[in-house]
Chain A
Amino acid sequence: MKKGILCCFIVFFCGLVYAQQENNDVKKDTTILNEIIVVGQRKLSNYRQEKTLSSIDDYLEKSNKVTMIKRGGYAWEPALNNMNSERLNITIDGMQIFGACTDKMDPITSYVDVSNLDKVSIGSGQSGTENGHNVGGGIDLQLAASKFHGAGLITNVDLGYETNGNYRIRGMDLEYSGQAFFLNFDGIYRKSDNYKAGGDKEVLYSQFEKFNLSLQTGYKLSEHQTLEAHAIYDKATNVGYPALPMDVSLAEALITSITHSFKADSAFIKSLESKLYFNTITHIMDDSQRPEVPIRMDMPGWSDTYGFYSKASIQENKHNISLNLNGFYNRSLAEMTMYPNDPNQSAMFMYTWPDIRTLYSGVYAKDDFQMSNNETLSVSSRLGYHRNKIAEEVGLGSLQIFYPQLKASKSRVLSSFAANYLIKKPQHDVSFGLAYGERAPSVSEGYGFFLFNSFDNYDYIGNPTLANEKAIEANLKANYHKNRFHIGFEASYFHLMDYIIGDIAETLSPMTIGATGVRIYKALSNASIFDVYLNSSYKLSEALAVNATLGYNRGRGSNDENLPLIKPLSFMAEFNYNTPKFNAALQLEANGNQSNYSGFYGEDETPAYGVLNLNFGNLFYMKTNKVVFKYGVENVLDTNYSTFADWNNIPRQGRNVYANLSVVLQ
């Protein structure tokens, strides 16, 4: 292993010595500060190339700052800057949507598929507040754009197979586009059996099955105005979670929206887009597949969200102003029913999320001011009103056990400010930013009732009295390019105040059988998270290139404990060969020893690892039809490993041979 890492360093520093340009398939548009991941089944990408039919989760994992927390083979939870769901604002095309699982088994990313999306926009820290408040950043999963390109009927067929887990993927996409009307329908079906970790060890309960259907239609009302309607239906069944004591028999989402957009180049307002949306999620967690449990239980959850946004962009002299007015109303309800082993005793019932209604409305404004030919100053702010209400009287009563003075509703005002200065010269660019942001506690943090966390083996009780969590953030980014060489440096530091995390309540008795104790969400007076990444690439020839990334992260609380789920030293290197019709890549992905693990929050030291991946891609044209064929081997050496982000150290996939085929019929 050490040799492997040493090798990587050599590759990396070779990259430093030579010189070349950045590969730009993962576009980093520094003026909008957001990292954009292009999602596409039918493109041949050469930079850290993905399996074209892989899940959104796989695409996200290719980003520097995103790590995926895994509880099984499906529905991974994204973390950005070492902060996960509660600290991020994850939206689908600007629409707020909230998972219905109290144990985070259904991150939003699990309810869309690659077939729905064009790209993913990742805004680190306060640069990600366009759609909502956060402290860690924002991830916006952007749906396919309107298609008034008049190309008539296009049919796409996608097929995929992976040997590990006998994973089958089938997809189809029908698109009709005229000059004033378009209709797009796509569907994708995925099914996987249990996957195998390195050494041919089967990981039980890692199976899943899901399908996703999407219908999108648009009509051009006039030259400048369009009206669009979009519906996504996503249904996953029989999803196993090897890292957790329970599985999911159903995770179902309906995501709908109507969008009106106005675009004009000459007017004062360049574009105005307004959307009305509604989404509903049903999530059924159960343990019927597990042969032995201390007690049988069902834990269903529901989440409905109604919302709108209206965003405008205005250009005036050297100012480029974006405005966004948005609001949503969410209802989150989850319950637990346990069936005692003694059949004479009646079932035990409680609300784990006591029908929490969240109302938010806020306004966002951003100005990119072109100070000179190569300097830009960006200033942004979001202000919002946020209110939680416990609608279920039984739920209020149950939380009053812990908080006798508790009132049903609580209101907050949330604010965010960010400033960023960018200087861009032909050979280098540097940007520096300072920001302040706040977030409200999540439903679980505020109102959760005996939520079992299998990570640290504690039951968690929400705390409705929590203050807003606040973050002061500084970031620095620098890039240097010369000839065929590129090197980039990126660092952020977050100083979080009133950092929300569970604190052991010695006197309380756990509810879950076998749990160590109870933790109540409390605020640490502060915590700090630091991350730094160094990227480099060098183009050896027109077709051959090498790139590498080295990253280091650190997180610590004011209680002198390490924060959990902080990425250790990480390294990734890739050799790629790329021509318009063929590409190949050899990747090495490695993490150092997790020496700064957080024993206090249930972590143990994850050892260092390194895995090798080999990918190929071919592009064929047959008359007017296009065929994209991607194939390769992941974890070539069949290493048995787990990473810091694997819940309860479940091992990752062993060797996997895959093939993805996409055909575009025109």
Chain B
Amino acid sequence: MKLSNLLPVLMLALFTMACSSSDDQAPLVINEVEGLIKIQEISNSTHTIELFNKSGLFETGFNDISLRLKDKVTDAYIEEASISWMPMMQMPSMQHSCPKSAISKVAGKATLYQGNIIYQMTNTDGSGWSLDLNYTLDGVDYMASDTISVFQSESQNVSSFTGSDDMRYVLALIAPEKPIIGINPMEVGLYKMESMMAFPAVPDYTIKLDPRMPGMGNHSSPNNTDLIFQLADASYQGNLSLTMTGYWVLNLKLINAAGELLKGKDVTVENTQSSLYLELEF
């Protein structure tokens, strides 16, 4: 009696399970952006470019961005393209760009491309930035462009400043993305503003690190190391010790290849913060 009552329910359950699994398998390519959130689409008459990252937002500082290029007619994602980009900030009197990497195909993925952009500033409402995308398919050049929204990060993860050599620099925190209590590998990008449009990475400087907790009487931590330029990643890398969770100020001093101090100050009892610093909260 009871079993016969249960049977229809069981059948129904099995059926729906079967349905849902076949649904999952249909668009195979979706898996390539698993864990990523779409920020925006930029399109022209022929193609749509989808932009992704982990938060689904552009924010000031270092942005690790994934892209896909879709043919509007076939709805297929394009596997062989050469893409470049140019982010642009429109100011009242002029416009400028920001540091960025080249875009390259993600190893092991069919349709996914990756690059990064470091927005050094934004307007309070997120406006002001636009993104131009240039790509080549089968020898034909295409272009797509749109305005984008770049929001202010909660903590200062990028700093734009003039060094004692009268050059303008942009310095951005790349890692740790998810800090832990303990020794974190730390990575910082340093770029020189050669012109309004050119921000090449600066090699062979040294960045001195002194992390502090202002909430704990400027408590510091031991075994931090200076950040040294690593050619392979074109960034500065070292060790950052964090003794607890909370709000940290990473006080920095920028020293050029000749050993001259370009920016920053030692943290002392009187001077509680360097003039060059980044923030971290976790």
A: residues with CB less than 8 A from B are: 294-295, 336, 338, 340-342, 345-351, 394, 396-398, 400-402, 404, 449-450, 507-514
Contact with B180, one of A295, A342, A397, A514 (Cβ below 8 angstroms): A397
Q: A340 — which chain B residues lie within 8 A by C-beta?
A: 215, 246-247
Annotate B222-253 by CB proximity to A: 1 below 8 A, 0 otherwise.
Answer: 11000000000000000001111111000000
B: residues with CB less than 8 A from A are: 180-183, 213, 215-223, 241-247, 281-282
* A246–chain B nearest beta-carbon distance, Å: 16
Interface centre among B223, B242, B244, by most A CB within 10 Å? Answer: B244
User: In the bound complex, what is the Cα–Cα distance between A351 and B223 (angstroms)?
Assistant: 19
User: In the bound complex, what is the Cα–Cα distance between A401 and B180 (angstroms)?
Assistant: 11
CB pair A397 B244 closer than 8 Å = no
CB pair B246 A513 closer than 8 Å = no
Q: Is the interface of A mostly helix, strand, loop or mixed?
A: loop
Q: A397 — which chain B residues lie within 8 A by C-beta?
A: 180-183
11 intermolecular pairs with C-beta atoms under 8 Å apart: A346-B245, A346-B281, A348-B246, A349-B245, A398-B181, A400-B182, A401-B242, A404-B223, A450-B243, A509-B220, A513-B216
User: In the bound complex, what is the Cα–Cα distance between A147 and B169 (angstroms)?
Assistant: 84
User: In the bound complex, what is the Cα–Cα distance between A338 and B244 (angstroms)?
Assistant: 10
User: In the bound complex, what is the Cα–Cα distance between A394 and B179 (angstroms)?
Assistant: 11
A350-B181, A513-B217, A514-B217 given; 7 more Cβ-contact pairs under 8 Å: A338-B246, A346-B282, A347-B245, A396-B182, A400-B182, A404-B223, A509-B218
Q: A507 — which chain B residues lie within 8 A by C-beta?
A: 222
CB pair B183 A350 closer than 8 Å = no
CB pair B215 A341 closer than 8 Å = yes
* B211–chain A nearest beta-carbon distance, Å: 10
Interface centre among A345, A348, A507, A512, by most B CB within 10 Å? Answer: A348
CB pair A402 B222 closer than 8 Å = yes
Contact with B219, one of A345, A349, A510 (Cβ below 8 angstroms): A510
Contact with B244, one of A295, A341, A508, A511 (Cβ below 8 angstroms): A511
Q: A449 — which chain B residues lie within 8 A by C-beta?
A: 243
CB pair B181 A511 closer than 8 Å = no
User: In the bound complex, what is the Cα–Cα distance between A599 and B221 (angstroms)?
Assistant: 27
CB pair A394 B181 closer than 8 Å = yes
Q: B222 — which chain A residues lie within 8 A by C-beta?
A: 401-402, 507-509
User: In the bound complex, what is the Cα–Cα distance between A665 and B40 (angstroms)?
Assistant: 84
CB pair A350 B244 closer than 8 Å = yes
User: In the bound complex, what is the Cα–Cα distance between A508 and B281 (angstroms)?
Assistant: 22
Q: A401 — which chain B residues lie within 8 A by C-beta?
A: 182-183, 221-223, 241-243
For residue B181, which residue of chain A has the nearest CB? Answer: A398
Contact with B243, one of A347, A398, A513 (Cβ below 8 angstroms): A398
For residue A352, which residue of chain B has the nearest CB? Answer: B244
Q: A510 — which chain B residues lie within 8 A by C-beta?
A: 217, 219
Closest 7 CB pairs of A and B: A397-B182, A348-B246, A340-B215, A509-B220, A350-B244, A513-B217, A345-B247
Q: Provided the pairs A394-B182, A400-B182, A401-B222 are in contact, do residues A295 and B243 lie with their beta carbons within 8 angstroms?
A: no
Q: B281 — which chain A residues lie within 8 A by C-beta?
A: 345-346
Contact with A350, one of B243, B247, B282 (Cβ below 8 angstroms): B243
Q: B183 — which chain A residues lie within 8 A by C-beta?
A: 397, 400-401, 404
CB pair A511 B216 closer than 8 Å = yes
CB pair A348 B220 closer than 8 Å = no
CB pair B215 A295 closer than 8 Å = yes
Q: B180 — which chain A residues lie within 8 A by C-beta?
A: 394, 397
Q: B216 — which chain A residues lie within 8 A by C-beta?
A: 295, 338, 348, 511-513
Contact with A509, one of B221, B245, B282 (Cβ below 8 angstroms): B221
Q: A509 — which chain B residues lie within 8 A by C-beta?
A: 218-222
For residue B245, which residue of chain A has the nearest CB? Answer: A349
For residue B213, which residue of chain A has the nearest CB? Answer: A348
Q: A450 — which chain B residues lie within 8 A by C-beta?
A: 243
